Amino acid sequence: MTDDPAQSCSVVEHRLIPLSDGRHLACRLWLPHSSESTPVPAILEYLPYRKRDGTSQRDEATYPELAAIGYAGVRVDISGTGESDGEFDDEYSPRELADGIEVIEWIAAQDWCDGKIGMMGISWGGFNSLQIAALKPPALKAVIAIGATVDRYNDDIHYKNGCLLYSNFWWSSVMLCYASRPPDPLLVGDNWRRSWLKRLQTQPFPLEKWLAHQRRDDYWRHGSVCECYEAMTVPALVISGWADGYVNAPPAAAAHFPGKTKAINGPWVHQYPHFAYPHPRMDFVAEARRWWDRWLKGTENDAESLPAYRAYISENVRPGPWREHEAGRWIAENTWPSETIQAKTYYPDIGGRLSLALAEEATASICSPLDCGTASGEYFTLKPDSELAGDQRPDDAGSLLFESERLTSAVEILGRPVMRLRVSIDRPIGLLAIRLLDVHPDGTSFRVSWGVINLTHRKANDSPEPMIPDQAVDVQVCLDECGYRFLPGHSIRIAISTAYWPMVMPPPQITTATVHLGRHCVLELPERDGTDTITVTAPTVADPLPEYP
C-alpha cells in the first residue's frame, strides 16, 4: 500500500450502467492504475444516497485504500436516486435486486475487471448485499454486510416482535428526503431539473406502505434471508455492534448460513468499524482485504479458518448518551452456537429478588407510566449525535424490578437472553418490554440488552390474536444479542414494563400486566466460561474520515 492511497487509482466521477429495459444507473469508480493493463476484482456498493456526496466521507476513507491493494470500487445509485434515472419504488424491492444483478453482470464484463465481484455495505448496502447473494449471480464471489439484518420484520427499523418502532416514522421521513434530492447538474447537464420534477411526482411515501403491513406477511418475507438460509452459500462476513440496532444478524448468520460465514460484533454504533464509536475500533480495511484476497484473488490466507464469531465483551460500562470508549476485551468462538455457553436459569420472586432458587408461586402487577422508556436512547444510531441508552433508573422507576444479590464472582454472557413468563393483562391489546441491566455499586443502571412483545403476537407475528382480559398466557421474549461481563460487586437486574416509549409506540389503551411468579417466570442467561482474549488490530489512521472546508 502506498503512503497516499488516493494516488494509486483513477476516480471516474460519473458513468452510466445500461439496464435491459433502457434505464441507466449512475456509478462512481475507483480504478487501480494496474487495471489499465491487468484486470482486477471489483467491490460493489449499491445505495440510494447519491454517490456524488451522500456517502463521500466514508467512500474516501475506504475505496482508495482498497484500490491501493488491487480492487476496483464501484459505488452505484439505485434507480430513481442520485444521478440514476428511472423511478425509486421501495427499499429492497424485487426491481432493486434484479437491477443489482444486472449491475454485477455489467461490472464483470468490463475490461478493467477480472470477472470476480465482491459486494459490501452498511445498512441498506449490507441488506442488499445479503439479499442479492441469496439470488446467486455467478460473478458474485463474496460479500461483507455491516449493520444489516436477516429478518426484515423483526430486526429492521420498522417492527420488533409486533411492536411498531418509533424509528419507522423517523426513517420514512429521512428516506423521503434522501430519495427526493435532485441529480447533480454538473454531472447530468441541463436535464437535471426535468428529471428532478419527474422524480418528485413519482416519489412514494415509504411510511404508507410500511404501516399497511403490520404483520409478518409476504412483503416482509421478501428480502429476509432467514426465510431461506440454505440459499446463503456465498462467503459472507457479517458485522455489527452492541450500540447498533442490528446486533442479531452476525450470530444468526454464523449459526445458519451454510456457506463460509464469519461474524463480528464490536462495541459500535451504526458505522463502519474503522471510524465508529465507542472505541476500540477495528481496522476494517485490513479485515476486508483478508476477506477479499481469499475469495476474490484466491490467496491462501486462512480466512475460512477464522473463528466463526468474534465479539467484544463489554464490562463496567457507565451509561450515557455518548461514549468515547467502552471497557472490555475481544473474544472468539470457533463454532457458533458454542459449547462453551450454557443457559443458566434465574427466578424472580415476590420480594424483588433474582436468584437461582425456584421462587414461590405469587403474582406481581405493573402499569407503567407512558413515559417509561425515555432513557432508551435511539434504535438507529446512525448520526454522529445519536443518543445511546442512558442511566436506566428513570425507566426502572416505572417497571417491575427483580435484582440479584451483589455478585461475588463475575458472570459473563454471550448470546440472547430469554425471558419466559406467564402473564395476563386487563385489555385486549398490550405490550411487554424486558430489559437486562447491570447495576453498579453506586446504583447506576446500564442496559445490557432488551426485548419487546406485542402480546397479540404471542403465538406468531403473521396471525395476531387479541388477549382475553385477565386470562393468563405463557409468552417468551428473546432479548437482543449481547456480550457482557457483570463484575463482582455489581448486580443483575431484570425490568418488566408495559410501555417503552419512544423506542416503541404505545398500545391504544393503558394496560396493567400481572406476572405469575414461580416456575412460570424464568430468565435464561447465556453464560460463558473463560477469561480468554484475542487481539483485534486498530486502524492505522486514528480518524480516517476526511474533513471538508
Provide the grid cell at 224. Answer: 429476509
User: How many other C-beta atoms lie within 10 A of the C-beta of residue 391?
Assistant: 17
CA gap 269, 276 in Å, rounded: 6
User: How many other C-beta atoms lie within 10 A of the C-beta of residue 304?
Assistant: 13
User: How many other C-beta atoms lie within 10 A of the C-beta of residue 242?
Assistant: 26
Provide the grid cell at 375. Answer: 432513557
CA gap 322, 286 in Å, rounded: 27
Query: What secondary structure letter does DSSP report for 125?
Result: H
Q: Do the beta carbons of residue 267 and residue 247 sit within 8 Å?
A: no
Provide the grid cell at 145. Answer: 454486510
User: How many other C-beta atoms lie within 10 A of the C-beta of residue 277?
Assistant: 21
The pLDDT assigned to 403 comes to 99
Query: Which helix (H) or strand (E) is 295 found in, with range?
Result: helix 284-296
Blockwise average pLDDT, block size 10, the chain, 549 residues: 68 97 98 96 97 91 93 98 95 98 99 98 98 99 98 97 96 92 94 94 93 98 98 98 98 97 98 94 96 98 97 98 96 97 98 98 98 95 86 98 99 99 99 99 99 98 98 98 99 99 97 98 96 92 73
Q: Do the beta carbons of residue 364 and residue 515 sit within 8 Å?
A: yes
CA gap 145, 130 in Å, rounded: 7
What is the residue-wise DSSP string for 400-452? EEEEPPPPSS-EEEEE--EEEEEEEESSSS-EEEEEEEEE-TTS-EEEEEEEE
CA gap 43, 62 in Å, rounded: 11
Q: Do the beta carbons of residue 103 and residue 140 sit within 8 Å?
A: no
Provide the grid cell at 61. Answer: 476513507
Query: Which helix (H) or strand (E) is 495 found in, with range?
Result: strand 491-497
Q: Count Cα atoms within 13 angstroms, Cβ side, for 109.
A: 8
Provide the grid cell at 7. Answer: 494516488
The pLDDT assigned to 263 comes to 99
The pLDDT assigned to 1 comes to 41
Domain ranges across the chain: 8-306, 341-528
CA gap 175, 526 in Å, rounded: 37
The pLDDT assigned to 540 comes to 85
* Helical spans, DSSP H, in 151-248: 167-180, 185-188, 192-202, 206-211, 218-221
Query: Which helix (H) or strand (E) is 163 found in, with range?
Result: strand 163-164
One fold for 8-306 and 341-528: no
Q: Count Cα atoms within 13 angstroms, Cβ side, for 206.
A: 22
The pLDDT assigned to 542 comes to 76
CA gap 87, 285 in Å, rounded: 34
**What is the domain class of 341-528 according to CATH?**
mainly beta
What is the topology classification, in CATH, of domain 8-306? Answer: Rossmann fold (3.40.50)
Q: Which residues contact 389 (CB under 8 A, 6 or more apart)?
A: 319, 375, 376, 377, 446, 447
Strand partners, 486: 411
CA gap 436, 441 in Å, rounded: 16
Q: Do the beta carbons of residue 362 and residue 347 sit within 8 Å?
A: no
Q: Do the beta carbons of residue 42 and residue 117 sit within 8 Å?
A: yes
CA distance between the termini of the chain: 27
The pLDDT assigned to 511 comes to 98
Q: Do the beta carbons of residue 41 and residue 114 sit within 8 Å?
A: yes
Task: Give CA angle at 25 (21, 28), nearest 5°.
Answer: 155
Distances in Å between the Cα of 132 and the Cα atoms of 11, 72, 144, 248, 517 are 26, 19, 12, 20, 46
Exposure b/e, 364-383, CB count within 10 A at least 16 = b: bebbbbeebbbbbbbbbbbe
Provide the grid cell at 178. Answer: 434522501
Q: Do the beta carbons of residue 175 and residue 203 sit within 8 Å?
A: no
Q: Do the beta carbons of residue 9 and residue 28 sit within 8 Å?
A: no
CA gap 312, 306 in Å, rounded: 16
